[in-house]
Every structure is written in structure tokens, then in C-alpha cells.
Structure 1
């Protein structure tokens, strides 16, 4: 039952429904058993009343014979197990000669029989016998209540765990799909029940999603590949035209703007192709020892002029040596993209800190941050958390970082930088987030050791 905890049981609608049904059955069972108990006790009392009448008739017959016969019969009755008590006393005028048999007040039900002219015999139901019979019913009553309740509760737990176990398999498979796996298949049993039908439908849905995604990727990559060549030719032609001295200043400016826009589009297509090749494994990685600290310092040297223009405080701190096997060029681009994003989305006079430890590199800033809802999508190609599009970019920077780190068996982890501005140093840099967006971003490239 490691896959089923108290929380899973309490939130399970199946378990709640079964428990509700069993509680209703238990209440009905208690009412029925209580009525059976009362009817059984009443029936027992009625039988005692009938036996009392028989006893009274027997002693009345013997009393007509002689007192000695009554005493002999009385001795015989007392020697045997009986539910009545017998008292032979002297005759009292206050006692009526007519025997009474009150049924609803059985503990005081008696029959009085005259024996001769001087004595009378009182026969009554022994209340100890009535109590003994009631006590004998109690274990039967409790077993009739507790045993079904225990069986129903065990059955509820068994069926709930059985259902939750099969649902857990489906949930785990769908979580793998949500995490990016596509070759996921949910096991289908031979029972051919509703869970198997659900598994078949989900497997078909996963296959269709994989086909649609593959088709979309193929279309996107194909378009990027096919359009890159004519765009490159168009770029060369614009460069030839720009080299013509007969152009006016206005014409030269317009053609230069077109050239820059075309170069931006061409760069976008090149990045899309590169990310697609990295994700598909078509790009061969150079394998060499790479010092991540050295890579981070080189990236900071490239980006520092922009940080100085924005009067940002860019700090690099190496706590431990971090050396990995991989492609130095790709790792440089990944680290550079993280630092560039931090500089781009951190306001003027902001703080950015790059920390290298044994497990990788951390880039923390005091910028606008990324909301929790966007953290799951920010690594998708063309996705931009900056909905205003104020900053220049194409939404491929973090996609490239994610593709590079995955090829190096590493992880890109994005968290809110809760330490805030001017407090980026120290252990607080590694604390979990307590805010959402607008408190800075902490991006880590984590290499498994």
C-alpha cells in the first residue's frame, strides 16, 4: 500500500461512496438487529407466560389431591432447572383466589394456587432467567453488527486500493507524457473492463499527440530549412545593392533596415534548426573537459558592456571547481544566454550574480522574474514570458539552453530569487521561493554527479 496514503484515500470519491453506502447498510442493519432483539425477548417472555399457565394448571390439579402430593411435585420442580420460583406459604386473605397472568409486567407475573384451607402456592417467573436470556442475546447482537461492519470496511479498502492502483498507473503514464516523454504506453490487461477501455483511448490519444507534434516539428524545421537558402541569397543581394555608391542616403537607410530585419529572421530560422537538431540528437557533440567557471567568466566578459550601460552590478563568484565532459561551444552559449536574459530583464541599477559550485552554475538577478504559470512553458520555442514584447528577442534563448543541458544529461532549474535586490550573496540564494514573479529569477544549470 505504498502507493496509497491517507490523503489519497480521503480524497477518493470511490472510497467515500463505498463508505457512504456501507454506513447506510450498517444503520439499516442496526435497526433490523435491534428489532430482532426486541422481538426475540418479547417472544421469550410470551413463552414463559404460557409455561407459567401450564405450571399453574399442573399444580392446581395436584392441589386437589393432597398437600403431600403438592410438596412432592414442588420438590421435583425445584430439583430441576426451571425458569420459575415456587413459594408455599400460609394462606393470606389479601391474596385473591383467582390467578392473574399479567403479560406486560412479567417480572412480577405470578399465579396463586390454594392448597387445602391453610396454605397457598405462589408460582412466578424468575427474573434472573429473563436477564440470563437477554445477556445470551448480547454477543449475537454485537457480532451481527460488528462483523458486517468490519467486513464492509475491509471490502471498501480493498476495492478502493484496487481501483486507485490502476488509476495510479494511468496517472504516472500521463505525468510522463506531461514531462515530455512521447513513447509512453499504458498497459492493457486481459480483463477488458472500463479501465482497459480508458487505457486504449489514452494510448490512442498519446499516439495522435506524438504524430501531430512530429508532423508540426517536421513542418517547422522543413520550412526553416527551405526558407533559409533563399533568405541567405536575398541577404547577399541586399549587401551587393548596399555597396552601390549611387544610392541616396534615404535608400541606403531603408535597404540597411531591410537587411537587418532579414538577418534577424535568418538568425531565428538558424536557431530553430539548431534546437531541432539538438533535441533530435542529429548534432554531434564534441567531448572534452570543460571548466564551467572559465566558461562563465568568458560569457561575463562578452555581456559586461551591456550591463555597464544599464549600470547593473554584475558579480561572479566561484565557490568550487566545476568540470564536466561536453561541448565547450554549446555550454558557453547556454551560460551566455542565461546571463544575457538576466541582464536584459533586470532594470537599471539592478543586481546580477553568477555563482559556480560543484554541481554547475547559478545565475540570480533582481529583475522582473517569471510567474509560476510561465515556468512550465518558458523553455518552449517561441514562448516569451514578456507579454508586452518590450525587450528584443525571439523566445528561443531558454529553448536553446534547455536543449543543450539535456544533451549533456543536465537540468535547467528555474526558481524565484526570494533574496531580492542587494541580497544575492550568501546561502539565501539557494532558498526556495516565497514569491511569484517580480522578485527576480534564479536559473541553475545542474549537472548530475
Structure 2
């Protein structure tokens, strides 16, 4: 799973907060840039206005000196060299009913598609000089300022977005390492240690605390298991003695207490079986129980199980079917493998209604047991292999919840895996066992 994928970033609270912050900063920044541009454009227009007045004053001074030839020569040179202003010489239009006489220099605003600032200078012989700001010059100014404005806004926003994404990715990466480690703990892996960096930051402090918590939980779990196994071991002996005494009593005339004594004997038998099962599972998981491995034909093991349980399935009018898709042989302990398959098939028969169908299949990966019974919820699939756990809340079926725990212990000792999935309807139990290539390497070791 990628820790920085789009779906993770979109769900990240850190990334969302950063996006809100960047949006606010970008909005404030846009307002600031806009104010700067407006102020600079106003200042630039005022500067042009002063330049325009100075230009008109220059020509007024030349007119006052009476040097007409120099005046027109200067106008011609200005037209060639000065790109800021445009110069137009034209006759003065007569003004009807003119009351006031305006001075030589005046501001005239011509209104068209755009308002242009201009100055009019009266020339000799009924002519006038109109000085205007060159429209191409103003257009060039806008073409220069607008890209600067856009880049001044876009570049910082892009940099902030990239920085926010990088920051969120770094945080998500650290959190992903913690989550992956905790997932390993949830799946039952032992001895998990979350990596601690040398930065000694808040994530390292969190990791240290989680490592301590994991260590304490494992210690408590081991202590509880040791207590359970010790109790089972200690109680098995007195229960066995009580069972033997009841058996001796039952060989003698015990009327009218025969039924009660037999019931006590049966209950002790059940308790003794439960304690024996708990001890066997504990020994298998701890590796204390020695296993003599030999070549085992899984198809033959499954045939024996089906043949042994066929009378029980016939009582419920069920179809118990064996199928071999591919022969499978492995190094294992025949009796343990038989008990594992037996528990799976018996469990399927128990929780499948009358007239149901149970399939036992041997293929390239191991063994599959399917049924069309009541099935198991997704919540219980990860727990039904736990000792003493019962998925049927009503406890309508007899048992202690040790059968599937024994199956998993046997499969793990054979380097395999027990997996449950839906059969729609019913449950699908899969025993993944080592492939042929893995078997060869295991035997070689």
C-alpha cells in the first residue's frame, strides 16, 4: 500500500489543514500583489503625466523663443526617437461661443474605447500640437506587468502546494511505518519492534511508547498462556484421579446414584479432554512436542477422514464429497494431519444444516473444505481459530472452541497457513501447505 497515494492524501487531516492554510495565504497574497500592482500603475501614470507636462512645456518655451524652424525640427526628431508619446500637428478648430480663453497648456481627455491623457500646445499660423501617450507603449507596459503579476502569484502558490504535499507525505510515511507495525501486532506476529530514528522527535517518542506497550502486552499474554497451561497441567491429574475413582465406583452396585455418578464421570471426561487439548495446542505452538515427519499422501488422509465421518453426515442426510484435483505429498506427521482435517470436516458437518453439501478437495496448494451452512461473519473469521472462542453465540453446539486452534497449530508446524473465506453460502476453509519447491528446500535443510 502506498502511503502517499492520492486517496491517502485526500483523507489526511494534516494535508487538509495545510490546504486550508495555503488557500488563506494565497488569497491574502493575491490581495497584496493586486494592491502593489494598482499602486505601481498609479505611480507610473503620475510619472507619465509629469513627463507629458514637461514635454508640453518644452515646446511652449520653444514657441516663446520664436524659433519655428527649430520647433518643427524637434517635433520630427521626437516622432522618430521618442516611443513614449505621439505627436500630431493639425489646424486649430474654431470654437463657437467660446467664453473663456484657455492657456497654452491644458489637459484634454478624449473619450473613446480607452481614456488617453493628452496635452495641446498652440503653434503659430493657426496650428496646434497634440501630444498623447502612445497606446502601444501602454499596451507593452500591461503585457509586461500582467505576466509578472501572474507569475508572482502562481509561483509562490505552486511552491507552497509542493511544500505542503512533501510535508504531508513525510508525515504519512512515518505514520505508515507505525500502522504497518501495529498491523503485524494485530495479526498475531510476535517480537514486533517499530523502527526508531535518530531524530528524537515526537514520532520517535510515540514509537518508543508503542514498543513498550507491545512488549508489555506480549509479556501479559505469555503470562496468561503460561497460567492457563499450568492450570490445565495441574488440574489434569486430580481430574484423572476422580475419573478413575468414579469408574471403580461404577463397577460396584451404586443404585440409586448410578445415573448421577455416570453424569459426573462424563463431565470429568469432557474436562479432561479439554485440558489435554489445551496442553497439546500449547506444546505444538511452543515446539515442545516432537514431530516425526514422513512422506504423507494428503489424498489418502482426506479419504480416511471422509470415510470415518461419513456415518455422521448420513445421519443429517448430508452429502460428504471428496475430490482430488491434483495429488499432493508432503513431509509431515500423519496422525496430526489426520486430526487437523478431521476437525475441519467435523466442524463443517456440525454447522451445516440437514441435506447440506460438504466438499473436501485436494489440489496443488493443499486442502479445501467447503460447506453451504450458516457461515461465519467477517468479524469472527479472524477469531474462530482462537482457543475457547465460539462463533455460535447461543452455544447450541457442544464443544470448547479448541478444534480450529489445533488445526492452526498443526498447519503452522507444517509451515502452512489456515485461511477462512466466504463460500456464499457457508464457509470455505483452506489449508495452504508448502509448494513442491519449498518442500525440496525444507528437506534439504
| Counterpart for residue 439 of structure 2 | none
The 8 Å contact of residues 46 and 103 in structure 1, kept in 2 or not, is answered as: no
CA distance in structure 2 between the aligned counterparts of 1:235 and 1:331, rounded to whole angstroms: 30
Q: Deviations over 1:213-260 (max 9, x none)?
A: 00100110010011111111111111111111x311x31111011000
Match of 1:89 in 2: 90
Normalised to the residue count of structure 2, the TM-score between the two structures is 0.92
1:97 deviation in Å? 4.0
The alpha carbon displacement at 1:34 in A equals 2.2
Q: Is the 8 A contact 1:416 1:442 kept in 2?
A: yes
Equivalent position of 2:432 in the other structure: 446
2:290 corresponds to: 284
Q: 2 CA distance for matches of 1:265 and 1:2?
A: 50
Name the structure 1 match of 2:443. Answer: none
Deviations along 1:304-359, whole A, 9 cap, x unmatched? Answer: 22111112111111121111111111100000001111111111222111111122
Note the C-alpha offset of 1:63: 0.7
Offset, 1:75 = 3.0
Equivalent position of 1:69 in the other structure: 70
Whether the aligned pair in 1 keeps the contact of 2:318 and 2:354 (CA below 8 Å) is yes
Residues 91-100 or 122-131, more deviating: 91-100
Q: Which moved more, 1:355-364 or 1:74-83?
A: 74-83
Please state whether the residue corresponding to 2:65 is helix, strand or coil: coil
Gap regions ≥5 residues in structure 1: 419-438
d(CA) in 1 for partners of 2:147 and 2:319? 82
Whether the 8 Å contact between 1:316 and 1:354 is mirrored in structure 2 is: yes
Aligned-partner SS, 2:139: helix
TM-score computed with the length of structure 1 as normaliser? 0.91
Alignment partner, residue 311 of structure 1: 317
The reply to whether residue 350 of structure 1 matches residue 356 of structure 2 is yes
1:427 aligns to what? none
Runs of 4+ displaced beyond 6 Å: 103-106
Structure 1 CA distance for aligned equivalents of residues 319 and 126 of structure 2: 125
Question: Contact conserved, 1:318 with 1:356, CA < 8 A, in 2?
Answer: yes
Q: For residue 173 of structure 1, what is the aligned residue in structure 2?
A: 181
SS at match of 1:109: strand
Q: Matched residue pairs, number?
A: 427
Equivalences for residues 226-305 of structure 1 within 5 A: 226-244=234-252, 246-248=253-255, 250-305=256-311
What are structure 2's unaligned runs of at least 5 residues? Answer: 436-445
| C-alpha distance in 1 between matches for 2:45 and 2:232 | 97
Instruction: Give me the whole-angstrom Cα distance separating, in 2, the residues matched to 1:359 and 1:382.
Output: 29
- Distance in 1 (alpha carbons) for counterparts of 2:430 and 2:118: 95
Match of 1:389 among 384, 388, 395: 395
SS across alignment from 1:189: coil
Maintained 8 Å contact 2:197/2:204: yes
1:408 — aligned with what? 414
| 2:108–2:117 contact (8 Å) kept in structure 1 | yes
Distance 2:36 2:109 in 1: 19
Please tell me whether the aligned partners of residues 362 and 443 of structure 1 are also in contact (alpha carbons under 8 angstroms): yes
- Compute the displacement of 1:269 (Å): 0.5
Shift in Å at residue 210 of structure 1? 0.3
Cα distance in 1, alignment partners of residues 339 and 148 from structure 2: 80
Q: Structure 2 matches for 1:35-434, cutoff 5 A?
A: 35-66=35-66, 67-94=68-95, 97-98=102-103, 99-101=105-107, 107-244=115-252, 246-248=253-255, 250-418=256-424
RMSD in angstroms over aligned alpha carbons? 1.8
Q: Secondary structure at the match of 1:114?
A: strand
Deviating more after overlay: 213-222 vs 105-114: 105-114
Contact 2:294 2:332 in 1 (8 A): yes
Query: What whole-Å deviation, never above 9, does each CA across 1:369-398 have from its counterpart, x for those lacking one?
Result: 111111010000000011111111111010
Given that residues 293 and 318 in structure 1 are in contact (C-alpha distance below 8 angstroms), is that contact kept between their aligned partners in structure 2?
A: yes
Q: CA deviation at 1:111?
A: 1.7
Greater shift, 394-403 or 38-47, is seen at: 38-47
2:107–2:120 CA contact under 8 A, matched in 1: no
